[in-house]
Amino acid sequence: MADSTFTLLNIVIMVVVMWATPLQFIPFFIWLERKGSAIIQDRIGPQRAEILGFRLFGLVHNFADVIKLLWKENITPSAAHRAYYLLAPFWSMTLSLLPLLLIPLAAPLELGGRKVVFQAADLNMGLLFILALTSLGVFGVMLAGWASNNKFSLMGGLRSSAQMISYEISMGLSVVGLLMVTQSVRVSEIVEAQSGNWGIFLQPIGFLLFLTAVFAETNRNPFDLAEGESELVAGYHIEYSSVKFALFFMAEYANMVAAAFLLSTLFLGGYQVPFAPTETLRANPGAVFTVLLLLVATLGGGVGVLILKRARQQETLHRGIKHLEPFLLGWIGLAKAGAALLLLALFGAGVLTLPSWAPPVLAAVLQMTCLLLKVLFFCWFFVWVRWTLPRFRYDQLMDMGWKVMLPLALVNLLVTGIVLLIVKG
């Protein structure tokens, strides 16, 4: 295979992977939102819908929602601007997927004399391109608000545009300090520059500003003023139903997945494993293999024990009635843990050896796992904040954006510049 063909194939595979990633995250994120809110509010949460007796702890409700939305009547208001009205949800969903194409999942590696990259596009101005794409996402909300020809929708669109302007400036300025430290706007180089020290420690104020701006950019509580059920019924998507509403619903969660990846990449080192740069991981494949097996054993065993314990409690609660699903899933988790421990024992005894190509591959797998754990943390953080803080008033939102965050971002740039002059001077 020619090098150009291999490179093209590598890019196509990464495009498919990075577009499929948020689509796989969305059902999990919705389930996490429902179960997380239930935990915070001391409720059970979704757990009734089932397929052949399997409830998957409420995950089947997502499939039921899809079927429900597909069968709902697809209504288009007669007074709406049809072209823009139909374009808005597709615009929102498409723009929510594009930023992930520039996020590296692991460090590039050499296999068979060819370079394998885990990033669909590594642009020289990658971070600026990501910020440009995220700012364009608001046009979907604005189009929906205006094209619906509904005063509540229009107010939601106007709120979203004003909100975007207020927080986009602070978001851009919050990462300038990080760019000053890393001396690059290429996303892969920003991640590599954090191998010794993460961005959250280099730019703590910038991280807090960026995190706050992300909540506003994604129209997420406590900044979901574009929807504002108490004042605007449902805001910009009030006139949308069926698949069109589903696209807006999915776009919100896809935006949060992209934001979680971006936060992890810029301020938590991306794929960087704490205290273990890429060269260290590749130089110690045995240790990396052991860590991966221990992770599988810990997660599989811990989840299996929790599920079985919960199953026993349910059996006692329902007077001895046993449900097959939790016992089956619990024992599957324990079986995974047992298999991982068996492989670890065989590896420790020297029965199992690693092939020559294993060191860079194992390092990449561990880096992807590390990035995934960071993303999952931010996914839970989005849920935690939504069900903890109340919605701000609109004047409070604007005051925070212009009177608090913007001055803080400018002061952060000034302090960062002074520190860099002192250190390098």
Whether omega for the bond prior to residue 222 falls within 30 degrees of 0, making it cis, is: yes
Question: pLDDT digit string (tens) for 188-206?
Answer: 999 999 888 898 998 999 9
What does the block give as tokens for 229?
């059920």
The answer to whether 82 and 143 have CB atoms below 8 angstroms apart is no
For the chain, what is the mean pLDDT?
84
DSSP 43: -
Please report how many Cα atoms fall inside a 13 Å half-sphere around the Cα of residue 167, on the Cβ side.
26
For residue 235, pLDDT beyond 90: no
Question: pLDDT digit string (tens) for 382-411?
Answer: 989 888 888 888 788 888 888 889 999 999
Residue among 36, 37, 28, 21 nearest 56 (CA): 28
pLDDT score recorded for residue 229: 63
Residue among 211, 276, 370, 262 nearest 22 (CA): 262
pLDDT score recorded for residue 342: 92
Q: What predicted TM-score, i.e. pTM, was given to this entire model?
A: 0.90
Q: Which segments of 78-217 does DSSP mark as H helices, in order?
A: 82-97, 126-136, 138-147, 151-182, 187-193, 199-202, 204-217
Residue among 423, 425, 411 nearest 177 (CA): 411
Per-residue confidence band for 320, with pLDDT thresholds at 50, 70 and 90: very low
The answer to whether 63 and 51 have CB atoms below 8 angstroms apart is yes
For residue 53, pLDDT beyond 80: no
Put residue 353 in one of left, alpha, beta given phi > 0 → left and psi -120 to 50 → alpha. Answer: beta
Distance CA 82, CA 123 (A): 36
pLDDT (mean) for 60-75: 82
pLDDT (mean) for 28-54: 83
DSSP 115: E
DSSP 207-275: HHHHHHHHHHHTT-TTS-TTT-HHHHTTGGGTT--HHHHHHHHHHHHHHHHHHHHHHHHHHS-TTPBTT
pLDDT (mean) for 199-217: 90
Residue extents of the structural domains in the chain: 3-272+360-424, 286-354
Residues above pLDDT 90, as percent of the chain:
20
Please report how many Cα atoms fall inside a 13 Å half-sphere around the Cα of residue 272, on the Cβ side.
23
Q: Is 24 helix (H, G, I), strand (E, B) or coil?
A: helix
The answer to whether 18 and 120 have CB atoms below 8 angstroms apart is yes
Per-residue confidence band for 321, with pLDDT thresholds at 50, 70 and 90: very low
The segment with the largest mean pLDDT, out of 51-65, 75-89, 120-134, 314-328, is 120-134
